[in-house]
Structure 1
Amino acid sequence: MEVKTLNLLDILNKSQVLYSTDYSGEYQAPADLLENILENSGSEEPILDGIMFLQKTSSRSYLVVDGIKRIIQFSLLLHALCECYKLTNEKNNHAIELIKKRYLFFGKYTKIHLHGYEKIIYEKLVKYERMTEEEKQHPMFIQLHEYWAKIKMNNISAVKLFNEIKKVNILACVYEDSEIENRDIYQYLNCNNPNIEELLLITDFIKEHSKNGLKAWYNLLDLYKNAGLKDYFKFFIRDFLTIQKNGIIPKANELYMSFKRYYKRFAPNMNIEDFFKHIEKFAKYYIKILQADFANEEIKSLVSTINEGNMQETYPYLLEVLDDVESGRLTEETLIQLLNTVIAFINEQRSGNFSSTIDFANLSHEINQRI
């Protein structure tokens, strides 16, 4: 792995393609690059705009393992410069065409290759294509027009701004091969980022290991989406993994690594369909809990009380209890007794009658003593 300072314009100029990963998540603008440039105006010092990890995939193409948002932001600033000064005079028009040819496009294709909705938004912006009102709410559109307005408001000349842009550098870690997976590098670098999307990392991991597994995983995602519970799926994964880790709750930024360890422990010894059927079984239990979807009215009422009381810390325990009921190891009468005990225990803890914290292990131990 080679670590060096690179000029961002040089990276764009010398690259044919800069690929994004499938797990970099939705675009969120880093710190305001234009503001940083304006503050540095007049200084000969280069501007350091962060760190990037680049995997070289060919002589002129890279996979941006970490830092794609910085590259997007930089290209949006270049595009804003072009928008501000297009059709002003022949000299500016010629310069704009050179900027687009050298830094934004390779032939008719954009140099930055994104995925899904992000790809649609970015390409519409740099190709001057009409956008819907919904698309105009995207952070890329908003940032581009903020740059455009700031350039106009400060009356910054095209030549001056471009000369300042030329000073923007990044500290780049460039490699061709690594024993550490790119996902793991990305997760480590972003472990304290609240916007990291752990489910995308898991999806990419499954895609790499099993085509049938990926299909089963997408079915799970669709199950929650169709139930109107899309945002709860990550909490299901957290609580499911809590069961697999004997009550140790994985942190929000540890879901991918926890799932990876679980997969590597069990999947090699199981049919992949059976591996995901096991997860699906608990995923359906979780929906039953969230929706309090039970034929028995007393059970339905008790689970509703748990949900309305924000007693989500009980969900891992309830998942195992429901599995015992579904498999015939527990009766509905016992389930009712357990639910009443769970509610009483949580209320006692919240009122300060117990000094220990509420977690899966404590709850299991306490409930098992009471029944």
Structure 2
Amino acid sequence: MQSIKRLILLSILSLTVVLSGCSDPYIAQIQGQTPVTEQRIAQLGDALANGQVRNANLINQYAAKVLELKPDLQPLIAEFKKDASIQGPMYLALLDRVNTVKNQPQMFADNKAIYQELMNIYQAADPVLYSDALSDPLNVLADMSDGALPRINSQNKAQSLIDNNAQDFGVGSQLVGNPSYGQWQTNSSGMSFWAWYGMYSMMGNMFGGNRIYYDSWGRNRGYSYYNDYGRSRYTSPSNLRKQNQVETRTRKSFASKGQKFTSTYNKNRSGSSGLSKQSQNAQKTASKFRSNSSSKFSNKSKFASKSKYSKKPRFRKKRKSFISRGFRRRR
């Protein structure tokens, strides 16, 4: 009798698991969106290779000009030229993120978080949005030219600092906070500072920049595309979690001194110029992203494997993409 009851109980539990999987609409959405997102990244790669992404083309032009002006910066300039190709850190980050979805689904809190990550990657790979995002490294090259080249999709440096009552953190400040170029590290005193990856450290070494601390940067930063428009699209859940940890640690440090620290992302800085409608729409969703993003990523998985969506994917109709054109230059 006991064995019969046990068999019935196991049957009920098995049926519950099966029905639970069938009732989750995100499983089918993940199956359909994964190949679509991969295709979008491949299309972006083709657009970069064929010279169809405007700011990527300008990066090559600006790099050539800065090399003429400052040949001693050749290693750093060569690193920035990669941004105009599929070897750039932003493009490689998109590939890494989609591979995480496919091979490490246990890194996400639930199926909804997986699907939202796929959609974020898909939107980030839009050549128009991607061109806008490239305005940050492009404008670093502009600043390296000491005024010989204008900033693109952005106010000039002096006006941007005035309008935002911002501190000048030196050449490359547009890239601070962007996980494609560096990361926040914490010293023995518990203070977080920006550490550049590899060759990008030349910006601090050669332009006399002081170490950039999170508490100062967070309160006094100027405009950048990534921090004011692109963060919701160009940040992986794992990097977002790290950013939130740095901010939480800084807020607690201020609170222990009876002070208040307001999130650096609480208010968008002004300074953009001629950005696409895609970027404008991305900024409109930023507040929703800020309120929900911290709960999307979890180290403790609810998934032991990727078996829930390892079935043959259902392909969606190919979506049309558009290439960036017609941006205005402003000094």
Verify same fold: TM over 0.5. Answer: no
TM-score bin (small chain): under 0.3
Structure with more relative contact order (C-alpha pairs < 8 Å, separation 6 or more):
2
Question: Whose radius of gyration is greater, 1 or 2?
Answer: 1
> Comparing both structures, which one devotes a greater share of its residues to strand?
1
